[in-house]
Each structure stands twice: as structure tokens, then as C-alpha cells.
Structure 1
Amino acid sequence: MKLQTAIDRVSLEDAIRLAQELNGKTDILEMGTSLVKDYGNLAIEKIRQVLTESELLVDIKTIDEGAYEFQQGYFYGGDILTVMGAASYDTLKACYEVSQEKGKTMLIDLLEVNNAKIEQILEFEEAIFCLHHSIDRKDKLDATASVAEFRKNFPQVKRIAIAGGIDLEQAKELAEQGLTEIVIVGSKITKSQEPAKAVEIFMEAIHQ
């Protein structure tokens, strides 16, 4: 299982500093949606310049203009880009085609997406399907149960990620379960006093 560390709701300067600090320590570094909205595509380039050893996921949350947004996201340095599962089939297809053409990766954010819609997009077999528990929701995510249910419903999906308030204990449980490719952790790492040490602890936990 890979660790994806999400940087969100900080200044661009702090994001660049964190990217430098975590370069090569986390498997994937996520440039969160807030950074994209606050600073734009040129900020991807700045983070890419210091992130030389970890993959860069840019959480652009595309919902329309799929081909254009994915072309731009990859052009500026993203390795993995996100599209909302709620987008139209044609938008998802356009994003997937660009990702395949560029030899890059598409992550489908399944935030509030029902099973009927998921059934319609299973053909994107190289995409990562991300179970995403909204930060605004009041209930707590049961990560392993969510993954188990998803795997039961969609056994043909090869690549699963999960996000939404994941802590160290949940990350350990997901690693032991063995069904998830990527666990996404945000504030439990980036808001800690020593982010690099927190990454080290999470990496040890999920790679035991």
C-alpha cells in the first residue's frame, strides 16, 4: 500500500517547504484542491521543481472541460490528476484518454457517487477509484468496512484509494486488510509538529 500525503489550506510558500521536507519520504504528495484554487496551475510547476522523488497528485477535481484540464495538469507537472465521479461519462472518458495518452494516471473521486453511476464507469480499468468521505460530513468514516463493501460490490476494480480523516490506526487496519492501493492522509501528517517524522511513522505502519 502507498501513502499519499495531502497538503491543503496553507500558503504556497508553506506547501513548497512541506514538499521539500517530504520529498522521497512519502510515496505520493498531494497538492490539495485549495492550493490549486488559491494559486493556479503555475503552482504545480513550483511544487514539481522541488518534488523530485515522490509522485505528485494534483487534486483538480475536474467536473467538466475534461481533456483541457487534464492536458494542462499534466503539462505543469502532475503525475496523477483527479476527476469527479459525478462528472458526465464523456468528461470521464476524455480525462481517461488524456491520462492514457500521456502515460499518466487518473483518479476518480467517488465523493457522494452512487453504485449505479459507478457501474457506468467501470471500463476505466487503469484508473484509481477513490472512496472519499467528505470533510463536511458529521459521521466518522469506517475505512476498512467501506473498502470491503466496495470490493464486494465491484470486484473488477483493480485500484482503490481511500480518503477522509484517516488516522494511524485506520491506516494500519487498511494495510492489514490488503485491498487498498493508496491511503490518503492529510492533517494527521501536515498539521503535526514534525511532518517528516509523522510520514515516517505512517510509512512504517503501512509497510510492516
Structure 2
Amino acid sequence: MKLQLAIDLEDVDGAIELIEKTKDSVDVFEYGTPLVINFGLEGLKKIRERFPDITLLADVKIMDVAGYEVEQAINYGADIVTILAAAEDQSIKDAVAKAHEHGKELLVDMIGIQDVEKRAKELDEMGADYIATHTGYDLQALGQTPLENFNKIKATVQQTKTAVAGGIKEDSAPTIISQQPDLLIVGGAISTDDNPAEKAKVFKDMIDNA
């Protein structure tokens, strides 16, 4: 199981500072959608140049022109690229093919999907590297968590790795970790802490000791 840090609320320099503080505990660093919107892929390139050896995920949430957009994200430094599960099947197949052509990985984000078991089975057959359960910020505010949908996906897939995201905190993490996702995605619980290096180590230790 790997720990992914979702970096959403920083500028690029702030993201670099956060990576510097947490890189000893974090396996995957996510260049979050707000960073993509505010600073484009040039910000991702700047981070890659500063940290040539870290694993970078670009949360571009692709919906169309998938092969091209995956390739662009990879060209700017991404190791893992995200596409929405709501995209057309052909877009997802194109995205998988392009990522694998470059030796990189594709993560499919299930946000907004209602029949998660059906879609997870389809994505598994398409060769996605990860399927991510994602309780979005707006639903987190209503008290929803990613665990129920994650368990449905975990029970459905045969070959695709699983990821889980959505308001994961220190107190809720042990329950989720016990369900053995391949990728635990944590955001604000680390990035907004007064000591993000220490907090990242807390989550990493939870994973290592599970």
C-alpha cells in the first residue's frame, strides 16, 4: 500500500515546499486539479524539474481527447494521469493505451458514478491501472465517506489496483487501511497540518504497521 499526498490548495512554490517537507514519507505526490486549473501543466513541469525522482500524479480528470491529454501530462512530468470514469469507453481505452505506451499508469476516478460495481468491472476489463473511489468535497460536506463504494469496487475488480480518497483523516484512516487499498490518498489532513512532515509520517507508519 502506498501513500499519496493530494496537493490542492497551494501555489506551485507552496507545493514544492510541501513536497520537500514530506518526501521522506510520501510515495506519490498529486498535482491536484486546482493546481492544474490555476497554473497549468507548466507548474507540473517546474515540480518535476525540482524533484526528478519522485512519483508525480497529474489530476487532470480527462473527459475527452484522452490520448492527447494523457501524452501532454506525461510530457510535462506525470507518472500517473487521471481520467474520469464517466468518460466514453473509447476515451478510457485510448488513455490506457497512451499511458502504457510511455510506460506510465492511468488512474480512473469514479467520482459521480452511481453503479460503481458495473463500471468497475468494465474498467477492470479495459486495463486501467487504478480505480479510485472518490467522495468529492461537496459530498464530504454532507457526511459521506468513500468506504462503502470502495468495498464494492474492491470486491469487483480482478486485476486493477484500487485507490481511495475523500476527506481521509487520522481517525478514519485505520478503518480504510484495514480494507487494503493499493493507494491511500490523503490531502488536507497532511497539507494543512502545522507540521506536515510529522503528519505524513503518522499516515505512513499506519500503512507500514497495518
TM-score normalized by the length of structure 2: 0.91
Match of 1:19 in 2: 19
Q: Deviations over 1:33-61 (max 9, x none)?
A: 01011111111111112234431111011
8 Å contact from structure 1 (residues 132, 162) kept in 2: yes
Counterpart in the other structure of 1:199: 200
Computed over aligned residues only, the root mean square deviation of the Cα atoms, in angstroms, reads: 1.6
Answer whether contact 1:82 1:108 (CA < 8 A) is retained.
Answer: yes
- Unaligned stretches of 5+ in structure 1? none
Instruction: State the partner residue of 1:112.
Output: 112
Q: Which moved more, 1:12-21 or 1:60-69?
A: 12-21
Given the alignment, which residue of 80, 99, 122 partners 2:124?
A: 122
Alpha-carbon distance in structure 1 between the residues aligned to 2:103 and 2:24: 21
What residue is the counterpart of 1:31 in the other structure?
31
1:77 aligned residue? 77
User: Displacement of 1:72 after TM fit?
Assistant: 0.7
Shift, 1:130, TM fit: 0.3
The answer on 1:146 being equivalent to 2:149 is yes
- What's 1:185 paired with? 186
Structure 1 position 126, deviation (Å): 4.5
Contact 1:22 1:196 in 2 (8 A): yes
Q: 1:95 to 1:65 in 2, by over 3 A?
A: same
Deviation at 1:13, TM superposition (A): 1.5
**Cα–Cα, structure 1 residues 53 and 203, in superposed 2: closer, same or farther, change >3 Å?**
farther
The percentage of counterpart residues that share the same residue type is 29
Contact 1:19/1:47 (8 A) holds in 2: no
| 2:60 paired residue number | 60
Number of residue pairs aligned between Structure 1 and Structure 2: 206
Structure 1 Cα separation of the partners of residues 148 and 120 of structure 2: 18
Q: Which SS does the other structure have where 2:64 is aligned?
A: coil
Does residue 163 of structure 2 align to residue 170 of structure 1?
no
Tell me if structure 2 keeps the 8 A contact 1:56–1:79.
yes
Check if 1:159 corresponds to 2:145.
no
Q: What is the DSSP-based 3-state SS (H/G/I as helix, E as strand, rest coil) of the residue aligned with 1:26?
A: coil
Which residue number corresponds to residue 86 of structure 2? 86
Alignment CA distance shift 1:176-1:120 (3 Å): closer
Q: What stretches of structure 2 of length at least 5 have no aligned partner? A: none
Q: Is the 8 A contact 1:42 1:76 kept in 2?
A: yes
Alpha-carbon distance change, 155 to 42 in structure 1, aligned in 2, over 3 angstroms: closer
Letter in 2 for 1:89: D
- Quote the offset at 1:157 in angstroms: 4.5
Q: Distance in 2 between matches of 1:183 and 1:117?
A: 21
- Contact 2:111-2:135 within 8 A present in 1 as well: yes
**Per-residue displacement from partner, 1:95-143 (whole Å, max 9, x unpaired)?**
1001110110000000011334444333233520000001011333444
Greater Cα shift, 74-83 or 134-143: 134-143
**TM-score of the pair, normalised by structure 1:** 0.92
